[in-house]
Amino acid sequence: MTSEDEQKAIEKDYSRSWDEKEKRYLELSSEEGWEFIIPVCAMIKELRNQGYDRQLGVARYWHMFVLSRSRDRELRDAKAVLVFRFKKDGRMKIQFWDDEQKQIEFEVERVEITPEIEALLSRLLTQPVN
């Protein structure tokens, strides 16, 4: 497989992982008690519009949104991860691990992409695909 073919395969794997997570969150957002997921769906759409769905994969954890450069959706080989935990009151907790050591953790008042989150996304993109 050429490097261009490999890159396309990686992007397809990543995009598929986003499709599955986005579909699940859209389903959840229409259920009673899960309305707090509606802004999450908007954030995912914004991240996809910025092209992150072709550069980062989404892990299979249903209760949180986890991004990495790993093609393994179980994250067995992930070197770094960016974790979003959504709270029913609309807040969002962000955690970033690098080489299995928690590096950064903070909370924001609402679900949105902040400059701090953009910096962590950029940091995550420096990791090799694995």
Sorted by where each begins, the domain ranges of the chain are 3-125
1 pLDDT more than 60: no
- d(Cα 69, Cα 58) in Å, to the nearest integer? 9
Total number of residues shown for the chain: 130
Q: Which of 108, 116, 103 is nearest to 92 (CA)?
A: 108
**For 62, phi and psi rounded to 5 degrees?**
-75, -30
pLDDT of residue 71: 78
100 pLDDT more than 80: no
74 pLDDT more than 70: no
- Those residues whose C-beta lies under 8 Å from the C-beta of residue 120, and which sit 6 or more positions away, are 82, 94, 96, 104
Q: In what order do the strands lie in the sheet with 57-58?
A: 57-58, 65-68, 80-86, 92-98, 101-108
- Pick from 25-29, 41-45, 100-104, 115-119: least confident: 100-104
- d(Cα 8, Cα 28) in Å, to the nearest integer? 30
21 pLDDT more than 90: yes
pLDDT of residue 85: 96
Encoded tokens for 113? 């992409």
Tell me which of 61 and 83 has the higher pLDDT.
83
